[in-house]
């Protein structure tokens, strides 16, 4: 488990007076990175409070000094790469080079329907995501970009002064299928998986290991296909949705992290405990995890 990095997802559901305390506490506990979801509304909490991702991350950057911040994940369902890349560049500046740009294909639902567009077919969604990742990569890397695609285009898009991190902020690409894994192998600094695709019955982490092992083999093969050294790609597993039991206790977390590290994962992410579904849990468990793993004296 030595060298494993640890992260936490904070849903953008609280007014800043409360949310501020959570982001600050995540840094105090010793987490390496903290993320928030990028949706207009979200699944089970559609009728509840839900704030904008970019302003939340900007505010979090202003009240923290060390922890890396990220989108988990931004999608082309309601994002165009040009204004989004400008926001990412700005967030990286506010955070002093502590941003990770997480990208995903999107899974349909309200984020796409609210804008009035026809939902894409699975093939169209994959094609759109490929353009989204490629153009976002170009925009964050180059001072000026022109691009003509099927789904996205731009002409002389200027990104000045550019990202604090060079050549750009790290990209974290969520993928489980062959096309997405090749995108991750080609463009990403971090590959993201949440386990078995879809929103079926979550598995205890011990039972999720075979699926994760197959995905790790697949991403290694994708790296080989594009001529990339697989060891240069970080591997991040998000728990709490399709993989359960990881944050039930500090002992469970330590045990799960041992298994994940053995599979080759470099990063493990849990969710900030909520009082009810989804991600229901006890906040004091995070304190136990901090004592066992996150504090410098507990790392190993």
The parts of the chain modelled with pLDDT lower than 70 are 1, 296-300
Three-state DSSP state, 96: coil
How confident is the model over 242-295, as pLDDT tens digits? Answer: 999 999 999 999 999 999 999 999 999 999 999 999 999 999 999 999 999 987
- R_g (Cα) of the chain, nearest Å: 18
Write down the CATH number for the domain with range 5-298. Answer: 3.20.20.30
pTM of the full structure:
0.95
Inter-residue contact 131 to 149 (CB < 8 Å): yes
pLDDT of residue 1: 62
HEC per residue, 244-299:
ECCCCCHHHHHHHHHHHHHHCCCEEEEECCECCCCCECCHHHHHHHHHHHHCHHHC
Q: Domain ranges in the chain?
A: 5-298
Give 139's Cβ-side CA count (13 Å radius).
Answer: 28
Return the pLDDT at 44: 84
pLDDT of residue 300: 38
CB burial readout 259-271, b (16+ within 10 A) else e: bbeeebbbbbbbb
Locate 139 and state its tokens: 């925009």
Nearest residue to 108 via CA among 195, 40, 54:
40
Residue 68, token pair as written in the block: 């890396």
Look at residue 297 in the predicted model and tell me its pLDDT: 43
Beta strands in 58-132 (DSSP E): 68-71, 99-103
CB atoms within 10 A of CB 112: 20
Q: Over 23-73, what HEC string results?
A: HHHHHHHCCCEEEECCCCCCHHHCCCCCCCHHHHHHHHHHHCCCCEEEECC
Res 128: pLDDT: 97
Q: Which helix (H) or strand (E) holds 146?
A: strand 144-148
Query: E strands within 88-212?
Result: 99-103, 144-148, 153-158, 171-174, 190-193, 203-204
């Amino acid at each position: 488990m030595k060298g494993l990095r640890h992260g936490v997802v904070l849903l953008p559901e609280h007014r800043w007076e409360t949310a501020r305390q959570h982001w600050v506490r995540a840094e105090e506990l010793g987490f390496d990175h903290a993320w928030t979801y990028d949706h207009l509304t979200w699944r089970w909490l559609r009728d509840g409070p839900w704030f904008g991702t970019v302003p939340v991350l900007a505010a979090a950057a202003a009240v923290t000094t060390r922890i890396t911040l990220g989108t988990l994940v931004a999608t082309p369902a309601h994002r165009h790469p040009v204004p989004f890349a400008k926001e990412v560049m700005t967030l990286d500046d506010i955070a002093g080079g502590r941003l990770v740009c997480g990208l995903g294909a999107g899974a349909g639902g309200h984020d796409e329907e609210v804008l009035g567009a026809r939902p894409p077919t699975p093939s169209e969604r994959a094609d759109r995501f490929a353009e989204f990742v490629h153009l976002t990569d170009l925009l964050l890397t180059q001072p000026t970009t022109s691009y003509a695609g099927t789904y996205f285009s731009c002409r002389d898009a200027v990104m000045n002064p550019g990202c604090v991190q060079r050549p750009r902020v790290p990209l974290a690409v969520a993928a489980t299928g062959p096309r997405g894994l090749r995108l991750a192998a080609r463009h990403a600094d971090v590959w993201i998986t949440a386990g078995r695709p879809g929103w079926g019955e979550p598995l205890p982490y011990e039972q999720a290991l075979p699926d994760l092992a197959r995905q790790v083999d697949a991403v290694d093969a994708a790296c080989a296909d594009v001529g990339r050294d697989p060891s240069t790609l970080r591997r991040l597993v998000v728990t709490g949705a399709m993989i359960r039991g990881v944050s039930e206790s500090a002992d469970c977390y330590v045990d799960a992290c041992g298994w994940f590290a053995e599979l080759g994962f470099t990063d493990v992410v849990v969710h900030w405990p909520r009082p009810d579904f989804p991600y229901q849990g006890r906040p004091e468990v995070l304190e136990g995890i901090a004592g066992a793993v996150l504090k410098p004296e507990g790392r190993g």
